[in-house]
Each structure stands twice: as structure tokens, then as C-alpha cells.
Chain A
Amino acid sequence: DTAVSQTPKYLVTQMGNDKSIKCEQNLGHDTMYWYKQDSKKFLKIMFSYNNKELIINETVPNRFSPKSPDKAHLNLHINSLELGDSAVYFCASSQGGGGGEQYFGPGTRLTVT
């Protein structure tokens, strides 16, 4: 199926650990995004990459580091996890970095204990 996929779907870890979330899209899009959704369902953009180049970098702690090995993949690495990092993280993709419909992945629920 053509889609945006993320792994893992659930991630439970302890404070201080380092973890990664992977995202892949096979829609042929050139732009990918990471969003964070908090416990109140508020969605906020974190990063955006267009053709492997970082184009949006919101005010996110530098413990979060996105990496785009190619146009179809955008991974999110988080160092020294904190309790406040607990959230659902969504990857999305679109064709063109200037707007247009964004397709979202199923999300990764991160729980930091």
C-alpha cells in the first residue's frame, strides 16, 4: 500500500535513554515532516525536510535531531529523554515544501517513565 509508515508504533523507555523513530513514505513526495501531539491533542510541527534539506526547524530542544538519508525517509533521534517528551509523534509527507496536502503516518506513542 502507498502510505506513510512509522516504526515503532509504541515506545516505552526510561528517562535519560536515547531512542529513534523511523519514518518512510512511498508516495514519491519530496518533503517530510515531524509533528508532536501532546496529551490534549494539540499538534505542533517540529521539523520539515525538502529533498533531504532542513527547511523548518521549530523551537525544539537540540536533544531532538532529525536525519533524512534520502527523500523517502526521515528519522527522529531523541537523546536524554525526559518525561515531557511523552507524546505521540507523527511523520507526514507532501509534494512540495510550500504547502499542499500533507499525508500523515499512524503515529508513534512515546512514553517516558
Chain B
Amino acid sequence: GESVGLHLPTLSVQEGDNSIINCAYSNSASDYFIWYKQESGKGPQFIIDIRSNMDKRQGQRVTVLLNKTVKHLSLQIAATQPGDSAVYFCAENKNTGKLIFGQGTTLQVKP
């Protein structure tokens, strides 16, 4: 079956450093990937997305990289801030509206 997985359940970084959160997916037919951020007690919040015809997409302080050869997706956060502390999910959307979420990586930012 299809699945989306993350490499590490927890990532701890120093404030100001860059963070890299990784995700692996198994379905090579996937065509749309999204990163969500979930703060404690809140619903997931859209960060950035990327389509399968792209390798890289940049937002404000965030970059998503897609490597279709190894079916790997990463989220890079520049100059990590305490407000970035949250659980980060990658998700796959095959244009059916059905989001398949990965397990989540908890990002802890140390002051």
C-alpha cells in the first residue's frame, strides 16, 4: 500500500540554526506533496507544497526539496526560531483530495 514516512520522530536544533526535516514516500505515482505544521492544541497549518514536476520550491524561510529518484521530500527551515517548535507532517495528495499524512516529526528549538 501507499505510505508516507518521516525519518526521525524528534529533531532538536539550536535557535538560529537551520532545520531539515525529511520524509520518504512509497508511491511513485504521487503528484503533489504538502508540508503542514501543527502547534500544540491546534490544527495542522499549511506551510508549503510542491508538485511532482518540480524539484524545489521556496517560501518565506522555508524550502521544500523533492527527489523523485529516491522518493524523498525534505523541508528546510532557515534560522529556526522558537515559534517554529511544532510537529511537522509531510502529506501526499494525489489530486483526489485525499491527504495521506506521514507520522510527524517534532521540532524542538533550544534557546
Contact = CB atoms under 8 A, between A and B. Distances in A.
A9 to B, nearest CB: 9
B90 to A, nearest CB: 11
B69 to A, nearest CB: 23
B50 to A, nearest CB: 12
Interface of B: 32, 34, 36, 38, 41-46, 49, 87, 89, 93-101, 103-104
B44 A104 contact: yes
The list of the 6 closest CB pairs from A to B, nearest first, reads A104-B43, A43-B101, A99-B95, A97-B97, A41-B104, A99-B93
A64 B49 CA distance: 31
Given A43-B99, A107-B43, 17 more contacts: A4-B43, A41-B87, A41-B103, A42-B103, A42-B104, A43-B89, A43-B104, A45-B99, A48-B97, A55-B97, A101-B34, A101-B46, A101-B49, A102-B46, A104-B36, A105-B43, A106-B41
B105 to A, nearest CB: 10
